[in-house]
Structure 1
Amino acid sequence: MDDSNYSRRRLLAGSAAALAGGLAGCSGGGGGGSTATDTSGSTETTGSQSTTTSSAKTYDVGFGDYQTTVNAANFPEPPKKLYVYAVQSGWSNWPALMKQFKQQYGVQLNDDDRSSGEALKDARSHAQNPTHSAFNGGYTFAVQAMNDGLTQAYKPANWDKVPEKLKTDNGHCTATRRMTTAVTYRKDIYEERGIEPPKTWEDLLKPEIMQDLALQTPQAAVGLACALSINNARGGSLDNLQPVIDYYKQIQQGGAEFTDNFLAQFTKGEYATFIRYDYSGLDLKYNNSDLPEENVGLALLKGKNGNKGAFNQPYGYAMLNGAPNPGACKLFMDYVLSLEGQRKFLDAFVRPIRAPELEMPPEFPSQSRYKETQFQVDYATLVEKQESVIQEITRGANL
């Protein structure tokens, strides 16, 4: 990267100071964030709060009819934690959001290391006695949780800034960010092997690529997005999954592995290629000092016949019925949807749901490439078919 482009590594080093100035926008009407009040009756913006929770402080949260006041006296104080499914280190830059939320409100979040599918399964098993305050994960998984009767209505501040198709009118599910399926590869290893950067999903069928290719099963939202990408690129649909099943059988025969943990191995060169999201590769390329930027490549793929092959996956959250620590949960949901929280996503190249209000980093692939490769599906249909889709692919490809 030349000197005309800013370094993401340098940016992140100063991001805490730059972004700690408070939630953007105004309070009231759910427009821009919460306000805090002390017992003397004076008011201050949330960004100016001390890093320790005071029982004297209250916060106005929510949007529209869901506006309410929560009291810090009811927040979990360390070592107690706020539990939200799949808010975890190593994913979506959650550590930065967790750290800043604790500094501003004194609430420590649990590092919840599980996939969307695992989170949904756990939420179902604890439906009568919830252990977590909110579900976070693939948006369609959150809608499934709603359909299972696991969630309750809460519209966080800035709910009105979320696209209509990516939130439910009843206030149960709200998208917070979006990601696009992409292939990340070791440019240095590809050059050593004489492999050209991939442009289509067919390119990954080369033996020298399949031999150390890593990806995830469709039980995880990221794995499902990968499967849908390949299936669409090869002419399939939600009613015809044979194209991706055949593809998965072929790459397994070539040495590809389905695994959740491969980033460290990729850095060491044990895997030369992995399939995840655009953010995963960009964050690894620009925000990881263990691997030179020039050794990491990112590709958005099409099918050999021009079909689009990069599924755009929304992620979001839903408050759970019987949620422990509901006040702290509402404040956290507000924070994630604030411009400050949304910028934290963008620091790791996760496209926030409020991206139109923010300046996008130049390191993203060109918008023309996204237009050529990116697609969406009818999310209502996907929710309806999701479990059967996952089961059919899993059984058919022997995953």
Structure 2
Amino acid sequence: MSQDNATDASGSLTDSVSRRRFLVANGTAATAALAGCLGGDDGDDGGDTTDGAETVRVGYGEYETTINTGDLPDELFIYAVQTGWSNWDAVMDAFEEEYGVSLFDDQRTSGEALTNIRTNHPNHEYGAYNGAYSVGLEAWDEGFTTDYKPKGYESVPDEFKTDDGHVTATRQMTVAINYRKDIYEERGLDEPETWEDLKQPEIAQDLAINVPGAGSGLNAMLSINHAYGGDLDNLDPLFEYFEDIAEHGAEHRRNLDQQFTAGEISTYAEYDFGGLSTKYNSDDIPEEDVGVVIPKGPDGGEGATQVPYGYAMLQDPPNEDAAKLFMDFVLSPDVQELFFDGFVRPIRASEDSVEAPDEFPAAEQYGDAAFGIDQAKLLDKQQGIIEEILERSPLPGVEA
């Protein structure tokens, strides 16, 4: 099954993520309860027309306009909006329940979406791109997108949206340390809080970090580098850190979840959604044996990069009004909460109106440790960074 991941070779990024079991059991009821109350916190400003259809105010600032729901299509095509990933299932169901428009189940990756856009532009049936924010920036840079600022645009952090309204983030994943609580207890280890904690020989002996070609692996390494004072132009702190953990047995590995649940590794760096999904959805390991923490730097500072996903309106889109309505819908507080059920933090997670479930690490962990990377700059430098890691990493398995 495809997901809206950043790269086709992204390892754990391409693993399907299921929603919390209680949501699977009660998804229909949850969607029905959600329908009819969407957009209230941001103000819907809808009204009735003479033909029985409704008018809905959409857009932010100069993009604010009125659309008539009687003109909406039966089906809407948005790239990489798909079942089985990030709880899009519930979002798709809620949108159809609210407006009578079904979403095509587009089982493709972000990279596949961009390839399709390139191939079919300007003749396409898709109204918008959805997926990895960095890939959205590529589409923007290549001239395939147009400007639209959805309702809620002002609530998106500046580093996760373009000023011209072409690309806007809707959700984010954050680098986390996932660890076996049972193994740590057996070894007499305290639960880790910082990257420095992982240098202990009893932890580093079976510590794993994904390869740089995987999205989670690359962003874990950029997190370590940032925590120790590096930046996109200076990776020396990362390699100094790797030298310290390599002597105790740390490695680059793939398929980390399987090795983790089998007890072959006790600790690995991954996105928060990966560890949380393993903790609450896996049949291979007890929930209480899995710990997930957002790591700080050695001095208690930032240590976990946030990786945004989002959308962009395409040039001359078919069913433009429906695409705008959907983009507004996804940023509304009630719908933002649905992403939490796929173990993905919504982009408006810091707002009081968007309530995080208890399964997530405490909000304070994200506030203290998380940071953003300039995605446009990263896009320009990413290939060179990967090549440098492949050449300089002292950890075994870097080219696996």
Query: Structure 2 matches for 1:242-261, cutoff 5 A?
Result: 242-244=236-238, 254=249, 256-259=251-254
Secondary structure of 1:151 counterpart: coil
Q: State yes or no: 1:17 paired with 2:29.
A: yes
Give the drift of 1:229.
0.3
Q: Equivalent residues in 2 for 1:233-248 (5 A)?
A: 233-244=227-238
Shift of 1:84: 1.5
Counterpart in the other structure of 1:84:
79
- Matches of 2:358 and 2:278, distance apart in 1: 16
Q: Select the residue among 43, 59, 62 that pairs with 2:59.
A: 62
Partner of 1:42: 52
Residue 179 (1) aligns with residue 191 (2): no
Gapped regions of structure 2 (runs ≥ 5): 1-19
Structure 1 CA distance, aligned partners of 2:62 and 2:232? 37
| Partners of 1:33 and 1:338 within 8 A in 2 | no
Q: Would the alpha carbon gap of residues 265 and 90 (structure 1) be closer, same or farther in structure 2, given more than 3 Å must change?
A: farther
- In 2 relative to 1, CA 43–212 (structure 1 residues): closer, same or farther, beyond 3 Å? same
- 2:208 alignment partner in structure 1: 213
Q: Does 1:98 align with 2:96?
A: no
RMSD, aligned α-carbons:
4.0
Deviates more, 1:138-147 or 1:59-68: 59-68
| Contact 1:218 1:393 (C-alpha < 8 Å) held by counterparts | no
Which range is displaced more, 274-283 or 123-132? 123-132
Instruction: Measure, in 1, the Cα distance between the counterparts of 2:299 and 2:287.
Output: 32
The reply on whether 1:365 has 2:361 as its aligned counterpart is: yes
Structure 1 counterpart of 2:136, from 121, 139, 142: 142
Quote the Cα distance in structure 2 between the aligned partners of 1:282 and 1:378.
26
Query: 1:93 offset after TM fit, Å?
Result: 2.4
| Aligned residue number for residue 345 of structure 1 | 339
Describe the shift of the 1:288–1:219 C-alpha distance in structure 2 as closer, same or farther (beyond 3 A). closer
Q: Say if 1:210 and 1:150 are closer, same or farther in 2 by CA, change over 3 A.
A: farther
Asked whether the 8 Å contact 2:72–2:101 carries over to 1, the reply is no
Structure 1 residue 319 displacement after superposition = 1.8
Helix, strand or coil at the partner of 1:69: strand
Q: Tell me the distance in 1 between the aligned counterparts of 2:346 and 2:91.
A: 13
**Could you tell me whether the CA contact under 8 Å between 1:200 and 1:304 is conserved in 2?**
yes
Deviation at 1:148?
A: 2.2
1:203-231 CA-partner distances (Å, limit 9, x unpaired):
445476564735353563x4443221011
Are the equivalent residues in 2 in contact too, given 1:182–1:298 (CA < 8 A)? yes
1:168 aligns with 2:162: yes
Q: Deviation string for 1:145-202 (max 9, x for gaps)?
A: 3122121112223323334443223221112123321111222244445554333334
Task: For residues 330-351 of structure 1, give each alpha carbon's deviation from its aligned partner in whole angstroms, at most 9, with x where no partner exists.
Answer: 3332221122211101234433
Instruction: Give per-residue Cα distances to partners, 1:106-150, cap 9 Å, x unaligned.
Output: 413324353x55655664565555575433334344233312212
Q: What TM-score does the superposition give when structure 1 sets the normalisation length? A: 0.73
The equivalent position to 2:104 in structure 1, one of 97, 106, 109, is 109
**Cα drift, residue 240 of structure 1:** 0.5
CA distance in 2, matches of 1:396, 1:123: 36
* % identity of equivalent residues: 43
Look up the SS of the partner of 1:149 in the other structure.
coil
* Alpha-carbon distance in structure 1 between the residues aligned to 2:123 and 2:247: 40
Cα contact 2:56–2:69 (8 A) shared by 1: yes
**2:38 is aligned with what amino acid?**
A
- CA pair 111-168 structure 1, distance change in 2 beyond 3 A: same
Kindly tell me: are residues 102 and 382 of structure 1, through their superposed partners in 2, closer, same or farther at Cα, counting changes over 3 Å? same
Q: Which amino acid in 1 is paired with 2:105?
A: N
Shift of 1:384: 4.7
Paired AA for residue 104 in structure 2: L
Residues 253 and 315 from structure 1, CA distance in 2 versus in 1: closer, same or farther, beyond 3 angstroms? Answer: farther
| Equivalenced residues, count | 368
Cα pair 2:225 2:238 within 8 Å, conserved? yes
Find the aligned partners of 2:248 and 2:316 in 1 and give their Cα distance.
47
Q: CA contact under 8 A between 1:62 and 1:157: conserved in structure 2?
A: yes
Deviation of the 1:236 alpha carbon? 1.5
| Counterparts in 2 of 1:169 and 1:68: CA distance versus 1, 3 Å | farther
Change in 2 beyond 3 A, CA 1:395/1:35: farther
Distance 1:175 1:83, change over 3 A: closer
Which of 272, 275, 289 is equivalent to 1:278? 272
Contact kept? 1:181, 1:278, Cα under 8 Å: yes
Say which SS state the counterpart of residue 152 (structure 1) adopts: coil
Secondary structure of 2:103 counterpart: coil
Q: Which runs of 5+ in 1 are unaligned?
A: 1-7, 45-57
C-alpha distance in 2 between matches for 1:176 and 1:60: 20
